[in-house]
Chains A and B, each alone.
Chain A
Amino acid sequence: MSLDKLKQIITDVMKEVDVVIGYKQGFDPLHATPCFITKPEQVDQVIWNPLCVQNLASYLTSLKKKVGVIVKGCDSRTIVQFMQEGLIDRSKVVVIGIPCTGVVSVRKVLEKVKHEPIEEVKFSDDGMVIVKTPSGETKMALSEVAPDKCETCQYPTPVLYDHLAGEPITSTKDPQSVFKDIEEFDKKSLEEKKAYWEKEFDRCIRCYACRNACPMCVCQDSCIAESREPHWVSQKSNLTEKMMFHMIHALHLAGRCVECGECERACPMGIPVNKLKRKINSDMKVLFGYEPGVKPEDKPPMFTFSVEEKNIEEHKL
């Protein structure tokens, strides 16, 4: 995909929208940051590379304007899910899709370079990431430092777009592998799982970055986590309350989570919060044969009701 082509598309799209959301270089060489382009001269700031991690579709529900948005394959599922749930007016969104060969996990890169300050980041055509720090250059394969979601990515090309910047890419990843990690985790005993989650959630500081970065967390300002009426979660900082919040978060996303991984990426305490949501998604697939954010005409299973479900045996009364 050539950056020039992307910029050309943005320039064209700008004629019909109020703002185009893309990426520009962030505060250091390892970070990209979303940019809201409203003026032609801003188009030159746009970048596209594996640092472009944020799911820009997340902004769509809060914007009243006509928007052009750049999406990767994974991000595009957000738009499809919004459509299924009637959360956006599709006629007000121009989707600029980019076929994606994977992004980086900043956390994994930092681990590789022992958290040294980053002086330069380069990407080679053969899928290598070259990171320069005061102690020298470290070369790593993009696949080594990609977030987990890229390892099993089924949708490198957006599932929906109005413009595609580049040639479509077909996934080479085994569809059966998508929930392999969840199946592995499921083999743990109940005690092991409990111990695992207690250790992880103990770190939670209840900053709600996971919630606010989540495109599907549409309650936002009316979240149960802070509500007094009803008063389901207290403001005490203990494991019970932290877990309660995360369980509510996960369950509210049952059959809605598009697995963009923003919750986990946003967590400043490195809690694998996406695992809970993926566990529920794997169950959804088994129970309802449903995968969120793939076909605009689908109905999320929790939005519908059938007297008899094919894969659920009702308790006999």
Chain B
Amino acid sequence: MASNKNPYIPELVTITNIIEETPNIKSFQVVFNDPERMKTFKFEPGQVGQLSVFGVGESTFVINSPPTRMEYLQFSVMKAGEVTGALHELFPGDQMGLRAPLGNWFPYDMMKGKKILFIGGGIGLAPLRTLILYMLDNRGDYKDITIIYGARTPPDLCYKEDLKEWEARSDVNLILTVDTEYPGWDKRTGFVPTVLNEVAPSPDDTIAITCGPPIMIKFVLQNLAKLNFKDEDIITTLEARMKCGIGICGRCNLGSQYICKDGPVFSLAQLRDFPGVV
């Protein structure tokens, strides 16, 4: 964010489209009220924004559309608390506030020329989506792309349109799973960490990127270690309660690092410095 600007003042955006991803997750596509701003706005895959419902408050979400597709910015919201509840009440045409971009991003440059393994669970696919789409838009820069994605049940899988498209592509290896048997589901069942073990991808020349519920991340990291992935080749993106978004207000810290500013993207090697996190 530019230093001459008041970092607390949101810019106004308007919802252009809302997609009901799952029974409790909606994706909001927004554009800046100022059409010029839509052209100058820059961000990197993995960066987050604070969405405001004025009168209710702000909450942090990753921009899950890629910087290569700038018709709109997309945010996916799982209904959980006050702000997400209010967001779910909105309609296309409604206004919101947006403070973005905040935080760091996926080190996609250092991933060039490598094989990429995405491991996501539930709404944890959101931050991965921005990078997956970015990579697909720059497909030649990366080798094999494998995506292991799971949710509790088939209706809980996000981005069903994307999944269909990825499944159809020959240059993407998509592995879907749901926790247990479900009527009409003919793909894998089982938890994501277990499926990871079954797939047993090779760590050679591969970067693993994971995001999901804390418990999933915990076991995915353990299993990646068992598969001999190096800590510096494992990347995750973290979530925490955030307020200021600029590394001051104090609640999202891991030791001296603030998830909102120094994160949310960390390598496992970095996280090893913070006992109790992984």
Contacts and interface: CB of A to CB of B under 8 A. Distances in A.
Is there a direct interface between A and B, measured as CB atoms under 8 Å apart in the complex? yes
A228 B241 CA distance: 15
B27 to A, nearest CB: 24
Interface in A213-259: 228-229
Contacts of B57: 228
A228 B57 CA distance: 10
B82 interface: yes
A7 to B, nearest CB: 38
B241 to A, nearest CB: 12
Contacts of A229: 82
3 contacts: A228-B57, A228-B82, A229-B82
Contacts of B82: 228-229
Report the contact-size class of chain A (Cβ under 8 Å from the partner).
under 10
B151 to A, nearest CB: 27
Leading 3 A-B pairs by shortest Cβ distance? A228-B82, A229-B82, A228-B57
Nearest to A229: B82
B53 to A, nearest CB: 12
A11 B181 CA distance: 59
Interface string B29-71: 0000000000000000000000000000100000000000000
A231 to B, nearest CB: 9
A228 B53 CA distance: 14
B260 to A, nearest CB: 20
Interface of A: 228-229
Interface in B73-88: 82
Interface of B: 57, 82
Nearest to B83: A228
A313 to B, nearest CB: 43
Contacts of A228: 57, 82
B243 to A, nearest CB: 12
A121 B82 CA distance: 53
A229 B57 CA distance: 12
A43 B106 CA distance: 55
A229 B82 CA distance: 7
A229 B80 CA distance: 13
A33 B204 CA distance: 58
B56 to A, nearest CB: 9
A228 B80 CA distance: 13
A217 to B, nearest CB: 23
Nearest to A231: B82
B89 to A, nearest CB: 14
A229 B81 CA distance: 9
Nearest to A227: B82
A229 B83 CA distance: 11
B50 to A, nearest CB: 17
Nearest to A228: B82
A228 B82 CA distance: 8
B178 to A, nearest CB: 32
B18 to A, nearest CB: 23
A27 B274 CA distance: 32
B88 to A, nearest CB: 15
A185 to B, nearest CB: 40
Nearest to B57: A228
B256 to A, nearest CB: 26
A251 B57 CA distance: 29
Nearest to B56: A228
B252 to A, nearest CB: 18
A233 to B, nearest CB: 15
B247 to A, nearest CB: 21
A171 B42 CA distance: 76
A107 to B, nearest CB: 31
A299 B249 CA distance: 45
A309 B57 CA distance: 46
B54 to A, nearest CB: 15
A228 B55 CA distance: 12
